[in-house]
Structure 1
Amino acid sequence: MTLVAPALAKPIRKPRFSPYELTVFSVVAALVLLAAVGPFLAPGSIYTSNMLETLMPPSAGHWLGTDDQGRDIFWRLVAGSQLSLFATVLVVFLYSLIGIAVATIATVGPRWLDELLMRITDIGLSLPGLVVALGIATVLGPSLQSGIIALALTGWPMTARILRTTMRQTMEQPFVEGARILGVSRTRLMLKHVLPNSIDVLIVKWAGDISFTMLILAGLSFIGVGAQPPSPEWGAMISGARGYMSIAWWAVAAPGAAIVINAVAFALLADILQVRRDPSLQV
């Protein structure tokens, strides 16, 4: 009688990404792609008034209707995706640069400089950022550029505080101590070893900041200190259509929905990245 060894069960491989994660990644990628190519797809008529087609409801000819100037809302949303998303990313990029610079100087500099920069950071954190940004944008004059500058100047303190704390912890790691023993200069130590091994803590924050900043940037345009007509920036579109909401709800709902979709997509992306970075948070 021949004995046959039982076949070993193949281990079940867990998918690298769940369907939920793939869906969020796909939506975010589609939004970024739309922002990159949107202005090239939209016709030039999005800036031209057509008073014969004002406030038309959604139809086959105008998928999301028209605004008070007879301009196609769908194509204005497509063209405005670049302004809304890329302006938001630019804000996050600018205040991240400021925050990284402050945190690096505070960590590498003398004790008194660290204390001075952190006290300035604490003052920035204690101030109502939105109110300060509103004041700066008002002084600079109503424009999208003013909104970008205002938010960049008020958004850096949290980045500086988080990164400085992380860099201090990294400085205590054995590989940093080893590099110091080998005679690596303090500046090279910071730029080559400490900063690259600390900045990953900001990746999750960046995704969440894009979501929050898009809402704030649209809010500045809505109240008149951000992008101005005839810009297809989504907040400016809502501002221009708010007076017709009772008779042309689609003119407000369409750009509002675009802002919500983008904000929620990047907020979900931030949650996924946070769980990936710390699996103990997974439910």
Structure 2
Amino acid sequence: MTELVKNTGELPVAAIQDEAVSPWKEAWQTFQKNKLALVGLGIVIFFIIVAAIAPLIAPYSFREQVLADRLLPPSAEHWFGTDDFGRDIFSRVVYGARISLWVGFFSVMASMLIGTFLGIVAGFYGRWVDSLISRVFDILLAFPSILLAIAIVAILGPSLQNALIAIAIINIPNFGRLVRSKVLSVKQEEYIMAARAVGMKDSRILFRHIMPNSITPIIVQATLAIATAIIEAAALGFLGLGAQAPTPEWGRMLADSKNYLTQAPWTLFFPGMAIMLTVLGFNLMGDGLRDALDPKMKT
């Protein structure tokens, strides 16, 4: 009898332990099953490592000019060849990873913080606050993103910092509208109404209940937004509105090399490949995170 009771008591506990899997652990397990997502994660980690140890792996300074070696093709001495000033392209691409990732991370971080705050306020309080913030979002979204970024940089002046500010501004509505829609859905749940009924303060409801339930789409959007930010920074650099010479920003490198497309195609190929691979990595990783974190995507 004792053994039977023991067994009947242990079975439910074991079942509960099997079912009590952390949502984040379950998401990671789902993410690991997505081979393309793992490839994207590997690409992102690779470029982060390259950016972190750039001074150790770059054989030359990105500023060093040797006019006698201008437009040399790839070789054992210069792996990616040299540009029109005799600068080593491999060293400049390596250092350019720092700049592109820096712009991508910090511009998205700024737009995520501001957009999330505005989206939460608009969705939670509603009424005229929601109308005012939503109209601001609509105005920003009425312009093509790259044209709005060009206009902002034209007003502030061409520089890498101003390009970062412009990219952050144009991405605010994307986070704001996403978070607003999530808050509008979550605040109708019964546990939110129960929290209001017992007199819980708005700030506690926001940070303890609504924010944790809104974090998943923010993570996915942030990952995909970094890829977009890197492309936008490269576009501004190519137009001469972003990083200025001799900064080794990938878009700026493409602009400096566009006149040598037939004479020295390697001057455009390697910076362009760096942009393509980095953006591909973040997109693949973002798609994998969306599939792992979004319950609607799970089978």
Asked if the contact 1:46/1:75 (under 8 Å) is kept, the reply is: yes
One-letter amino acid matched to 1:161: R
The separation in 2 between residues aligned to 1:73 and 1:155, in whole angstroms, is 31
Asked if the contact 2:220/2:286 (under 8 Å) is kept, the reply is: yes
Asked if the contact 1:64/1:254 (under 8 Å) is kept, the reply is: yes
Asked if the contact 2:42/2:281 (under 8 Å) is kept, the reply is: no
The separation in 1 between residues aligned to 2:105 and 2:253, in whole angstroms, is 20
Structure in which a larger fraction of residues adopt helix: 2
Q: Which runs of 5+ in 2 are unaligned?
A: 1-28
- C-alpha distance after superposition, 1:234-255 (max 9, x if no partner): 1111111111222111011110
Worse-matched range after superposition: 115-124 or 102-111: 102-111
Asked if the contact 1:171/1:177 (under 8 Å) is kept, the reply is: yes
Question: 2:51 corresponds to which residue?
Answer: 35
One-letter amino acid matched to 2:233: L
- C-alpha distance after superposition, 1:130-159 (max 9, x if no partner): 111101111211111111111112211121
Question: 2:255 corresponds to which residue?
Answer: 239
Secondary structure at the aligned position of 2:244 is classed as: coil
Distance 1:183 1:265, change over 3 A: same
Q: Does 1:90 align with 2:122?
A: no
Asked if the contact 1:237/1:255 (under 8 Å) is kept, the reply is: yes
**TM-score using structure 1 length:** 0.89
Asked if the contact 2:32/2:38 (under 8 Å) is kept, the reply is: no
Secondary structure at the aligned position of 1:46 is classed as: coil
* Identity percentage of aligned residues: 35
Distance 1:272 1:51, change over 3 A: same
Worse-matched range after superposition: 138-147 or 49-58: 138-147
Q: After superposition, where does 1:215-226 map in structure 2 within 5 Å?
A: 215-226=231-242
The separation in 1 between residues aligned to 2:139 and 2:62, in whole angstroms, is 44
Worse-matched range after superposition: 227-236 or 41-50: 41-50
The separation in 2 between residues aligned to 1:277 and 1:45, in whole angstroms, is 42
Question: 2:118 corresponds to which residue?
Answer: 102
> Which has the higher relative contact order, 1 or 2, with Cα contacts under 8 A spaced 6 or more apart?
2
The separation in 1 between residues aligned to 2:231 and 2:188, in whole angstroms, is 38
Question: 1:5 corresponds to which residue?
Answer: none
Question: 2:154 corresponds to which residue?
Answer: 138
Asked if the contact 2:52/2:98 (under 8 Å) is kept, the reply is: yes
Q: Does 1:122 align with 2:138?
A: yes
**Over aligned residue pairs, what C-alpha RMSD do you find?**
2.1
One-letter amino acid matched to 2:99: L
- C-alpha distance after superposition, 1:204-231 (max 9, x if no partner): 1111111122111100000100001100
The separation in 2 between residues aligned to 1:15 and 1:260, in whole angstroms, is 23
Q: After superposition, where does 1:166-205 map in structure 2 within 5 Å?
A: 166-205=182-221
Worse-matched range after superposition: 251-260 or 33-42: 33-42
**TM-score using structure 2 length:** 0.84
Asked if the contact 1:39/1:80 (under 8 Å) is kept, the reply is: no
- C-alpha distance after superposition, 1:115-142 (max 9, x if no partner): 1111221222222221111011112111
Secondary structure at the aligned position of 1:257 is classed as: helix
Deviation for aligned residue 1:261 = 0.4
Asked if the contact 2:149/2:166 (under 8 Å) is kept, the reply is: yes
Worse-matched range after superposition: 219-228 or 123-132: 123-132
One-letter amino acid matched to 1:192: R
Worse-matched range after superposition: 53-62 or 105-114: 105-114
Q: Which runs of 5+ in 1 are unaligned?
A: 1-12
